[in-house]
Structure 1
Amino acid sequence: MSEIMDRIIEENSRENRRTLIGGMFSRVRQYDVTALEVRGRQIRVTPDHWVTDFASCNYLGLDLDPEMTATVAESIDRWGVHPSWCRLVASPELYVELEERLAKLVGTEAALILPTVTLISIGVIPALVGKNGVLLLDKSGHETMYEAAKIARDNGATLASFVQGDLDRLATLLDQHRANPRKVILVDGVYSMTGDHADLHELLRLAAEYHAVVYVDDAHGFGVVGENPSTATPFGQRGNGIVRHLGLDYDNVLYVGGCSKAYSSLAAFVACSKKMQTFIKTFATPYDLSGPSPTASLATLWSGLDINDSRGDVLRERLWKLTDHAARGIRELGYRIDNRTGFPILSVEIGDPDMLATAANHLFDAGILVTTCPYPMVARGQDVLRLTLTAANTDAEVDHLIAAFSGLRELLGGNITADALPA
């Protein structure tokens, strides 16, 4: 049996470019780290080595907030540790109450919760296009959307792609499929590598012209960006997502929000009309074939929404300031960071896989945990160290981060991908 499995592994390794990522595992100490102890954003990873966490996506720091645990025991006592029904059969009342709160927050008629954005994509995207529809995929969109699109393509749908921001190409594709009544444009709300956001104004204009739907995966944006952004509050208010952040409505938009990042809870949701909610319940297989979110995650999401109501904007203001501090400090060292929005994702370009491994190990030894992103996680030659800040980080930790990149600059010499240094 093991020889057969080994042969399968070898054959797949020869034909799949993800083998290049596997090749980094043995070289980079930032991979497969085991956390032995957590104290704030400090993680003990060996008996005598601690690292500061800049790899978490718990943007608001709610994973460390004592208020998050307040309702967990009560909810478990009431509903059990895990509701083992599929959602089609039954759901704890807490699901329905949370869906109502989420719909009210983002501004839609209804919402539907499933455990992850990935499950939503692989269930909802094929259901939307059916056997003959058309999917138009932003190449910078999250890979899980692409995986979902491939499932739809195997069922008979057409799949085409366009480069992020290439609206001329998108318009051409829409025109080619003008007569098809099921056209879905797939984009990220906030992009997971750059913190940039989709040009939803133009996307929605094209969608209206060609009678298409825009599917927005806002796994990273929900909870961080929200309505009424200003110079004083660049992330906006209430954290109700990229659509509200850009001052848009939900005509022709199917909005998907993730709760595992800003809200530190294993849950995700589709915000939509009541008619679409019923359609998804009927046609999206994860609603009747997947296990549900654990009770504790539903309880912490409830607590997280309470925290968001009472002090979420304060946390977002702190997050903005910490991110700005980190970005300025690292850029002043000469590194290039492709981030125009101030969103707390800072991908520091290294550009070469060998230097990337060296850089990642140096930072780890200096006490910094980051996400190491080689090709094909990013485009070839654009290898990055991805930093994600949270409101639970401290100014001293950001100073430590900048100092570690200063030491890395000395190690790499002039071999860094640099922005123009400020005068």
Structure 2
Amino acid sequence: MTNEKTGYLEEKYESLREQGETWPLNQLETASQARPIVEGQEVIMLASNNYLDLANDQRLRDATQDAIESFGVGAGSDWSIAGYTELQDELHEAIADFKGTEAGLSYQTGFAVNAGLLPQLLEGGDVFVSDALNHGSIIDGIRLSPADVEIYDHSDMGDLENTLREVHEEYNRCIVVTDGVFSMDGDVAKLDEIQSLADEYGAMTYVDDCHGEGVLGDGHGITAEFGLEDDVDFQMGSFSKACGGFGGMLAGDQHVIDYAYNTSRTWLLSAGYPPAVAAANKKALEIIDSEPERVRRLWEKRGYFAEELQSIGYDIGNSETPIVPAMIGNSKTAKELSERLFDTGIFALAIVHPMVPKGEARIRNQINVGLSQADLDEALRVYEEIGRDLDIV
């Protein structure tokens, strides 16, 4: 046993627990869907990234089963070592078509795109200019780079311009990096203004669109929302959210894709995901492209839930998307609200420090197109009942 050496970690954990800053692990006993079984009870799911309710779609199931019959289960090794199937080539073409770019590439995860690619894009004498609320995978990727980094205030275009003006003459190259949809607040990056400023100061742009695909731009993401498919230099995203599958994606010019898979350690040194996953991901892109009404229904449900939650008395912060937080503030109060919601059949997770700054704990609600009107109304009723009992509203 090594507890004499590692005992300090127990103390650290207990400190986190006492502050209400630990994460419970809840067992999902069915497929991810609008009304799954979690820890033995049926709940209304408000904690999933499965915005378009595709994670259990029969068409994705059929695609995976066909792929297993043709190509088996595992990838065998890293894609760069053991090769990959025609499904992977088809997926890469589908990514490019979906994102409106010359070429596409799939990664093992969205995190792997940022952690593996960002360190390879710039060198010493270069600089990243990064939004203050960018995802942790962006932060980690930039930390691995020899380039410097400057942080601009969240979505503050004045501060971004001041930062670009300051670094313009000092550094050789610059990349402005931003989330498309910020995952904790649900607000949307001002990508049109960001791109305009980047162009003015000769900077490149890198957008993490993980929460934008299937949501913005008729489902094609934030670059489609702003008509910037030909302007953003690096478009990355995820199959594990609205697409209902697994893995990350990158879209851009062919030379960007060639460079990415030849230098990203996360791509080169990680086992490829199974052929069945590639088949499901390709099918998801096809469905999103052919069913724009699915995206419209998602926005209708989001609009109703957000408006009613506010009318009850909850602060939804800066939400502009199907991520609709209920801002609470205190971590312990947020945890108690989440636990009581779960006890009443509503699965909505408390987001606490370090995922968000201290004092900004919230319940992050994520709307799923599979939720019925009755589901939304029941969730709102419970929110109001418990919120009044806890003196939140």
- Bin of the TM-score, shorter chain as denominator length: over 0.9
d(CA) in 2 for partners of 1:134, 1:404: 48
- Specify which of 326, 329, 343 is matched with residue 308 of structure 2: 329
- Specify which of 66, 73, 84 is matched with residue 65 of structure 2: 73
| 1:121 Cα offset (Å) | 0.6
Tell me, yes or no, if the aligned pair for 2:109 and 2:248 is still in contact at 8 Å: yes
Q: Tell me, what secondary structure is at the counterpart of 1:58?
A: coil
Deviations 1:59-97 (A, max 9, x none): 110112212111212211222212123122322111111
Q: Tell me, what secondary structure is at the counterpart of 1:275?
A: helix
2:379 paired residue number = 401
d(CA) in 1 for partners of 2:197, 2:261: 28
1:183 paired residue number = 174
Q: 1:279 to 1:46 in 2, by over 3 A?
A: closer
Letter in 2 for 1:270: L
1:258 paired residue number = 238
Tell me, yes or no, if the aligned pair for 1:266 and 1:294 is still in contact at 8 Å: no
Q: 1:353 to 1:160 in 2, by over 3 A?
A: same
Q: Tell me, what secondary structure is at the counterpart of 1:160?
A: strand
1:294 paired residue number = 274
Tell me, yes or no, if the aligned pair for 1:222 and 1:257 is still in contact at 8 Å: yes
Q: 1:340 to 1:373 in 2, by over 3 A?
A: closer
Q: 1:221 to 1:354 in 2, by over 3 A?
A: same
1:282 paired residue number = 262
Q: 1:55 to 1:109 in 2, by over 3 A?
A: same
Tell me, yes or no, if the aligned pair for 2:20 and 2:335 is still in contact at 8 Å: yes
d(CA) in 1 for partners of 2:201, 2:126: 14
User: 1:130-149 residue pairs with structure 2 within 5 A?
Assistant: 130-149=123-142
Tell me, yes or no, if the aligned pair for 1:181 and 1:211 is still in contact at 8 Å: no
Deviations 1:152-197 (A, max 9, x none): 1xxx321221111222332233233224222111100111122211
| 1:270 Cα offset (Å) | 0.8
Letter in 2 for 1:24: G
Q: 1:368 to 1:213 in 2, by over 3 A?
A: same
Tell me, yes or no, if the aligned pair for 1:353 and 1:383 is still in contact at 8 Å: yes
2:184 paired residue number = 193
Tell me, yes or no, if the aligned pair for 2:43 and 2:345 is still in contact at 8 Å: yes
State the TM-score, normalizing by the size of structure 2.
Answer: 0.93
1:385 paired residue number = 363
2:85 paired residue number = 92
Question: Does 2:27 correspond to 1:34?
Answer: yes
Q: What is the identity percentage for the equivalent residue pairs of Structure 1 and Structure 2?
A: 28
Tell me, yes or no, if the aligned pair for 1:208 and 1:252 is still in contact at 8 Å: no
| 1:395 Cα offset (Å) | 1.0
Q: Tell me, what secondary structure is at the counterpart of 1:63?
A: coil
Tell me, yes or no, if the aligned pair for 2:108 and 2:267 is still in contact at 8 Å: no
Q: 1:126 to 1:392 in 2, by over 3 A?
A: same
d(CA) in 1 for partners of 2:91, 2:197: 33
d(CA) in 2 for partners of 1:102, 1:280: 15
Segments of structure 2 that go 5 or more residues without pairing to the other structure are none
Q: 1:22 to 1:35 in 2, by over 3 A?
A: farther
d(CA) in 1 for partners of 2:31, 2:229: 41
User: 1:358-373 residue pairs with structure 2 within 5 A?
Assistant: 358-373=336-351
Deviations 1:259-293 (A, max 9, x none): 11011111211111011111112221122111112
| 1:130 Cα offset (Å) | 2.5
Deviations 1:341-389 (A, max 9, x none): 2x11000011122321221122111110012112232222221100001
User: 1:295-314 residue pairs with structure 2 within 5 A?
Assistant: 295-311=275-291, 313-314=292-293
| 1:50 Cα offset (Å) | 2.5
Q: 1:263 to 1:181 in 2, by over 3 A?
A: same
d(CA) in 1 for partners of 2:314, 2:222: 28
d(CA) in 1 for partners of 2:351, 2:309: 18
Letter in 2 for 1:400: E
| 1:104 Cα offset (Å) | 1.1
Question: Does 2:13 correspond to 1:24?
Answer: no
Q: Tell me, what secondary structure is at the counterpart of 2:42?
A: strand
User: 1:119-268 residue pairs with structure 2 within 5 A?
Assistant: 119-152=112-145, 156-179=146-169, 180-226=171-217, 237=218, 239-268=219-248
1:419 paired residue number = none
Segments of structure 1 that go 5 or more residues without pairing to the other structure are 227-236, 417-423
| 1:25 Cα offset (Å) | 6.6
d(CA) in 2 for partners of 1:213, 1:400: 46
1:316 paired residue number = 295
Deviations 1:91-150 (A, max 9, x none): 211111111111012110001111111101111101001333211111111111011111
Q: Tell me, what secondary structure is at the counterpart of 2:364?
A: strand
Q: 1:40 to 1:125 in 2, by over 3 A?
A: closer
Greater shift, 66-75 or 363-372, is seen at: 66-75
Q: 1:74 to 1:22 in 2, by over 3 A?
A: farther
Q: Tell me, what secondary structure is at the counterpart of 1:375?
A: coil
Q: Tell me, what secondary structure is at the counterpart of 1:215?
A: strand
Deviations 1:191-218 (A, max 9, x none): 1122211111121122112221111000
Q: Tell me, what secondary structure is at the counterpart of 1:270?
A: strand
